[in-house]
Amino acid sequence: MAVYNPPLDDMRFMLNDVFNVETFWQSNEKLAHVDMDTVNMILEEMAKLAKNVLLPLNRSGDEEGAQYHGDGVVTTPSGFKEAFEQYAESGWIGLGGDPEYGGQGFPKMVTMLAEEMVFTANQSFALYPNLSVGATLCLLASASEEQKQTYLEKMYAGEWAGTMCLTEPHAGTDLGIIKTKAVPNGDDSYAISGTKIFITGGEHDLTDNIIHLVLAKTPDAPAGSKGISLFLVPKFLVNADGSLGARNTLAAGSIEHKMGIKGSATCVMNFDGAKGWLVGAENTGLASMFVMMNYERVTMGLQGLGGTELAYQNAAAYALDRGQGRSDTQIQSPEKPADSIIHHADVRRMLLNARVNAEASRCFAMYVAKQLDESKFSVDADNAQAAEARVALLTPIAKAFLTDKALEATIDCQQVFGGHGYVREWGMEQIVRDTRIAQIYEGANGIQALDLLGRKIARNQGKYLQNFLAEIRDFVANMLANHEIKQATLDAAATIEELTTTVLANISTRKSEINGCAVDYLHAMGYLCYAFMFAMMVEAAHDKEGAFYSNKLKLATYFVGRILPRLHAHADMVKTGSDPIMDFDLSYFSENVS
């Protein structure tokens, strides 16, 4: 079975030393109930659940997979239902929920660490409660008080699950062309008809009811995305007393056969005049859905982090044990026919690449989580608005960069195993397969890059970025640590600032500039963000004794010399512009394909 020991020491380092969370919590009356003693208990309990309950189901869940039995019946792998019941009964789904409706009110900076451990132990399982959490966020922001009273407590308790039903066979990124219809029934309900695809947890055997949040268009809706409304469509109708009534006219038509996350039921959902209720105002569905998307996209970054952490721990354990060849410096194990491969520099390179990604990803996810908490809980309107702007800028990076680097890290770790990494016995190929999806769903990473460069940079002429750069420079100017990360971070900030000026100048004359340069621009930004995170970690660790802290400084040195130079390669590619991409006739791509 795979190795997983939740990195609680690193999580506490982030909370206490890097972000000084208790001061942050106690300075905000809405978070004053949160303290580190309680958070430590939460982390320790989740660590036990992740390691002892969820991890043992990871491989068996992949091998068995979710099963479609016809007539809309879907079952999850053996053990998932019992694990879900334990998960729900322990209150994990409502950990960050609104206490007014039965949640526990913990901030994202806490819930993200619990989510990380679940994703590390079992990515397929993690998606079921994660979708419920996302649905509750949407309802909390946009639903009527009656809807909140009816649904939220049951969903926080894990008695009912939730989904997001956006994508259709012909409409993925371009939701403005969806065909699902919502026709008024003459009362306060609508008849919802249409087909949705790629619906995570659309049908399963884990809960008594599933609450579908469905994007659809009313008969007189405006064209495009402005005409999208959001509807609450339960699998079972809910009676006035809260009990379950008749089965609604919706069902899973099939489940997808996927590359990874096979224990997660990814469904085709057919709605045949199903009864649903409007959430929020008509034609505001996309805005309602996107209230939760910042949280969900950060959570996808946590999925990438989980894949990295699991891959790293198993690769490191293998490298310490596997004997092949002799060390370049001197024989390390003369009593054995070979030294362990951990003594080979190239193996260390791959492991350190993954370790850099895990620690920088964790720090960056927590940084964005803090901005989410500031925007949600701050009593200072200006502070909340500034945090919301920071979230808008960084969310595409948290989703796309963290998951792109995660796949790279899992492949590096798979490579440590050599041929053993390619066969099922060691579990590494599953980690690679499972992690791959995080780059695709919740807005494919190319779309995240377009959002960053097109909306968050170009649309406001880099205002959000300038504020972020000012924060980075101010932090570095006040650092007490004497470490090369300081100058490296300042240099990275200057490169991004100059690069942004160049891109904004080119956009007016090159129509495809944003589309052609967005991914490389996002990656350059991602490396700047990682540099800032390492600066924060170095500052938190430089004056403390012990190997744990000295290794933080060493890893930052590795990052500066071996990883950060990639920023400049991406910057050069952005400066080259989109012309080399678009300078091919269409006939070039049609050669040998028809």
Asked if 465 and 457 touch (Cβ cutoff 8 Å), the reply is: yes
82 is catalytic: no
Residues in a beta bridge with 181: 193, 217
CB 83 within 8 A of CB 343: no
Rounded distance between C-alpha atoms, residue 54 and residue 45, angstroms: 13
CA 434, CA 425: separation in Å to the nearest integer? 16
Question: At 19, phi and psi to the nearest 5?
Answer: -110, -5
Residues, the chain, total?
A: 594
- Measured CA to CA, the distance from residue 339 to residue 349 in angstroms comes to 17
Q: CA 92 to CA 157: how far, in whole Å? A: 8
Within 201-344, where are the H helices?
Answer: 285-321
Three-class SS of residue 60? helix
Give the distance between the most distant pair of CA atoms in the chain. 84
Asked whether 530 and 559 are in contact (CB, 8 A), the reply is yes
Beta bridge partners of 162: 211
Find residue 212's DSSP bridge partners: 163, 233
**DSSP assignment of 249-278, as one string?**
SEEEEEE---SS-TTS-EEEEEEEEEEEEE
Q: Outline where 35-122 has alpha helix (H).
A: 36-49, 56-64, 80-89, 108-121
Cα separations in angstroms, 331 against 209, 310, 319, 345, 353: 62, 30, 16, 14, 25
User: Three-state secondary structure along 342-363?
Assistant: HHCHHHHHHHHHHHHHHHHHHH
**Phi, psi (rounded to 5 degrees) for 67:** -125, 135
Question: CA dihedral defined by 57, 60, 62, 65, rounded to 10 degrees?
Answer: -100
What whole-number distance in Å separates Cα of residue 582 and Cα of residue 302?
35
**How far apart (Å, rounded) are the C-alpha atoms in residues 472 and 163?**
38
Rounded-to-integer distance, Cα 554 and Cα 355, Å:
12
Number of H helices, E strands in the chain: 20, 11
Which residue has tokens 């990494």?
421
DSSP state of 70: S
Residues 6 or more apart whose Cβ sits within 8 Å of residue 519? 445, 446, 449
Choosing from 116, 153, 168, 442, which is the catalytic residue?
A: 442
Q: What angle do CA 165, 169, 175 make, to 5 degrees?
A: 60
Instruction: State the amino acid at position 195 in one-letter form.
Output: T
- CA distance readout (Å), 376 to 177, 392, 420: 32, 13, 47
* DSSP state, residue 217: B
Inter-residue contact 239 to 194 (CB < 8 Å):
no
- Give the residue numbers annotated as catalytic, written as ranges: 442
